[in-house]
Every structure is written in structure tokens, then in C-alpha cells.
Chain A
Amino acid sequence: GQQLNQSPQSMFIQEGEDVSMNCTSSSIFNTWLWYKQDPGEGPVLLIALYKAGELTSNGRLTAQFGITRKDSFLNISASIPSDVGIYFCAGPLSGTYKYIFGTGTRLKVLA
């Protein structure tokens, strides 16, 4: 079945640094969604991507839809302490509206 693998699994960074993470799939996706989850909360949608090669920004966040349609990337510039959390990529299973989630990247920012 379709799987989404994220890397890195976790990362510690200094405040002010830029962060990059990626998500890869075993099959093609037509939509990529990036979410952030804080402890004890539901995921919050950060960025949605709909076309291969698309590059979309939301404040300090930038995400790209890989041209192979099997991967996506999320970058966070000038990280701040409130960026701490778990970042998930997600996409719909082919032919359905059922969304599956990546394994997550846990981000910790050192002040």
C-alpha cells in the first residue's frame, strides 16, 4: 500500500536557523498537504500543494511539490521557539479522499 516516509525523524536546531525536511512516497500523489501538530492538539494545515513543481509559501514556511510527484519538501526559515512541534506530510490515497499521513518530523528549537 501507499506509504509516506519523512526525514529526518527528529531534529534539534538553534533559533534563527533554517530547517528542511522532506516526505517521500512509494507511489504518485496528486496533492500534498503539510501539517503541524502541537502536543495534545489536532494537526493544523500549513500548506497545500496541487501541482508537480509547485512552490508555495506561507510566511516563513515554503513547501514544494516534487516534479516526480513522489516527494515534497518543507522549509522553515529563521526558526523561532514556537516552531517546535511535529510536522506531518499527508496526501490522499489514489482514487479516494482518504488522507494518509507521513511518519512525522519532530522539531525542537534551542533558544
Chain B
Amino acid sequence: GAVVSQHPSWVICKSGTSVKIECRSLDFQATTMFWYRQFPKQSLMLMATSNEGSKATYEQGVEKDKFLINHASLTLSTLTVTSAHPEDSSFYICSARWSLEAFFGQGTRLTVV
């Protein structure tokens, strides 16, 4: 299967700072990537769709100014959590579509203190 790599796997930041999470497709090109958020013991909630060369599309209720997404190349999408607050603490996971399937990164555990 296709390989998606996410970095970092965990990060702790101070309230008010910004954090960038990277998602790379290692052995294929991905024009579309997806960002999910997962709370403890819950399912994955789609936050946004990252489109190479164009603006991301956000799901209802997701603040686009809080969660900045950039898809600058066919193998890299980044999610920046701006002015992070403790309520932004969560597990963030990216995925990339290859053929009709979605492959996921390892996830990033964000803790805002």
C-alpha cells in the first residue's frame, strides 16, 4: 500500500503559540489530502480537504483561520494550528487518497499547556 508520513508524532506547545504539522506522501503523488481530528475514545472527524495548488475546503464548524492548511506540492500538506489554546489539544491525523483508498499518517498528539 501507499505510505503516508506525518511529523511530528507529538508536540507540546504553550498557549498562544502556533504549531505546524506536516503530512507527506512518500511513494506516490497526492493531489488531495485530508486532515482529521480525533478526541479520546471517539471516531475521526474530518476537518478539511487539502487541495494541491488551491485553497483547502473546510468542514462546517471548522475555523479556517485557526487551522491553516497549505498544500504546496504533490507530496506535502501542512496544518498549522494558530494561536493554540488548551481546547485545541487533540490527536490530528492526515490521510492521502491513492486510487480509491485513503492511507493515513501516524498521527500527531498536540498538547497545549
User: Chain A residues in contact with chain B, CB under 8 A?
Assistant: 31, 33, 35, 40-45, 48, 50, 88, 90, 92, 97-104
Contact = CB atoms under 8 A, between A and B. Distances in A.
Which among A31, A43, A44 has the greatest number of chain B C-beta atoms within 10 A?
Answer: A43
A77 B62 CA distance: 40
Contacts of A90: 102
A99 B49 CA distance: 10
A104 B43 contact: yes
Interface string B83-105: 00000000101010100111111
B100 A50 contact: yes
Contacts of B107: 40-42
B77 interface: no
A69 B101 CA distance: 17
Interface of B: 1, 4, 6, 32, 34, 36, 42-46, 49, 91, 93, 95, 97, 100-107, 109
B51 to A, nearest CB: 10
29 contacts: A31-B100, A40-B107, A40-B109, A41-B106, A41-B107, A42-B6, A42-B104, A42-B105, A42-B106, A43-B44, A43-B93, A45-B101, A45-B103, A45-B104, A48-B100, A48-B101, A88-B43, A88-B44, A92-B100, A97-B32, A98-B34, A98-B46, A98-B49, A99-B34, A99-B102, A101-B36, A101-B43, A101-B44, A102-B43
Given A40-B107, A42-B93, A45-B1, A103 B43 contact: yes
Contacts of B95: 42, 99
Listed from nearest, the 3 A-B pairs whose CB atoms lie closest are A42-B104, A101-B44, A42-B107
Contacts of A88: 43-44
A33 B101 contact: yes
A92 B34 CA distance: 12
